[in-house]
Amino acid sequence: MIIDCHGHYTTAPPQHAAWREAQLAAYDAGRPAPPYPAISDDEVRESIEGNQLRLLTERGADLTLFSPRASAMGHHLGDEAVSQVWARACNDLIKRVTDLFPGHFAGVGMLPQSPGVPIANSVPELERCVLELGFVACNLNPDPSGGHWTSPPLTDEAWFPFYEKLIELDVPAMVHVSASSNRNFHAIGAHYLNADTTAFMQLVQGDLFGRFPGLRLVIPHGGGAVPYHWGRYRGLAAMLGQPPLDQHVMGNVFFDTCVYHQPGIDLLVGVIDPENILFGSEMIGAVRGIDPETGFHFDDTRRYVDGAGVSDAARALIYEGNARRVYPRLDAQLKARGR
């Protein structure tokens, strides 16, 4: 089967985003937020069937790890209480999708992060997502300030309580920022990729996996700039006196295939061990158009993986095997269904 590790609910019924606007307006005005609106099962079903499910099927994939819209997490907006309510609403909506389409979507939660707020405060929502909603992972924002980078690096002990819970629950985290409130950074064209690059280099500098050998982090968007500059990172690790990357970080770090052209995927599979690559498309998401050079959607990443020169065994790891290993709760759910 083909598991897409990276999809966001970018097509949620419009009252969901409208309520978010009302929530933030109420926060600004010092009023309580209005009640969350009614959304019918039909509306949820329709928002998925004509979009992600249709494209998933058309492209021959089987299941998407589905999380709330990343750019709308907006951890920099409002305050902690606002983020708590919003994260809960977003995760509950994901749960409805996974209940309506259990064969095609597994849940990945967003966290109620807020700048300056201890990450320990996100642990209860992580536990709720995994233990009550049946989610198999979460998205962790390394920069809840939205492009001002005011938090400590991911290797700082401030993050440790969260890593301990991830390990206890045996779920990985995808390192994924949200929108940018810094006008230097276009979210999709700069902030996302910069965050991927930044997170990886923090891991090279530190020794997070010496401390937490059971921690697994997915770095999306093909690892940002990292595979393209793989020689730079190999050289920097040596200059910093760190072990080689395969021993130091690549037992715990995974890159997805959200790289939207064949040469990029060719490079990714050429320099990164297939054990460290997870199929992903971020569909429907960052780049929605059709590539005039190919006639296919930019984010139809299955075409690139199929077109890349890797062995069938490596391709099977990228499409399925790695996901089952990195997301053991997904594997358990699939096995319980005989898949």
Cβ closest to a copy of itself, residue 264 vs residue 328: 264
We find the least distance from the C-beta atom of residue 159 to a copy of itself, in angstroms, to be: 12
Binding a copy of itself (rule: CB under 8 A), the pick from 201, 208, 249, 277 is 201
**Closest to a copy of itself by CB, 70 or 90:** 70
Contacts with a copy of itself by CB under 8 A: the residue count is: 57
What are φ and ψ of residue 105, in 5° steps?
Answer: -135, 135
Closest CB to a copy of itself among residues 31, 261: 261
Q: Which of residues 205-264 bind a copy of itself (CB under 8 A)?
A: 205, 221-222, 224-225, 227-236, 238-239, 259-261, 263-264
- For the four alpha carbons of 56, 228, 215 and 126, in that order, the dihedral sign comes to negative
Query: Which of 134, 153, 161, 274: binder of a copy of itself (CB under 8 A)?
Result: 153
Is residue 160 within the footprint of a copy of itself (CB under 8 A)? no
Q: How far is CA 229 from CA 204, 225, 264, in A?
A: 14, 6, 12
Among 169, 179, 286, 323, binds a copy of itself (CB under 8 A): 286
For a copy of itself, which is the closer residue by CB, 15 or 182? Answer: 182
Q: Taking CB under 8 A as the rule, does residue 270 contact a copy of itself?
A: yes
Q: Rounded CA gap, 280 and 3, in Å?
A: 8
Q: Using the rule CB under 8 A, is 280 a contact of a copy of itself?
A: no
11 lies in the site for a copy of itself, by CB under 8 A: no
Is residue 64 part of the contact set for a copy of itself (CB under 8 A)? no
Which residues are CB-contacts of 258 (< 8 A; sequence separation ≥ 6)? 6, 220, 221, 222, 280, 281, 282, 286, 299, 301
Query: Between 40 and 184, whose beta carbon lies closer to a copy of itself?
Result: 184
> Contact 122/116 with Cβ under 8 angstroms?
no
Is 276 a binder of a copy of itself (CB under 8 A)?
no
Residue 320 annotated in active site:
no
For a copy of itself, the closer CB: 77 or 269 = 269
User: Quick check: 190 binds a copy of itself (CB under 8 A)?
Assistant: yes
What sign does the dihedral 174-320-300-63 (CA atoms) show?
Answer: negative
The verdict on 325 binding a copy of itself (CB under 8 A) reads no
Of positions 210, 289, 309, 338, contacts a copy of itself by CB under 8 A: 289
Strand partners, 175: 140
Q: Rule CB under 8 A: which of 84-143 touch a copy of itself?
A: 142-143
* Shortest distance, position 308 Cβ to a copy of itself, whole Å: 13
Yes or no: say if 90 and 68 are a contact pair by the CB < 8 Å rule: yes
Among 7, 109, 147, 280, binds a copy of itself (CB under 8 A): 147
Whole-number minimum distance, CB 314 to a copy of itself, in Å?
16
Does 287 interact with a copy of itself (rule: CB under 8 A)?
yes
In the complex, which residues of this chain contact a copy of itself (CB under 8 A)?
Answer: 142-143, 147-149, 151-153, 182-186, 188-190, 193-194, 197-198, 201-202, 204-205, 221-222, 224-225, 227-236, 238-239, 259-261, 263-264, 266-267, 270-271, 286-289, 291, 293, 298-299
Instruction: Give catalytic residue positions.
Output: 282
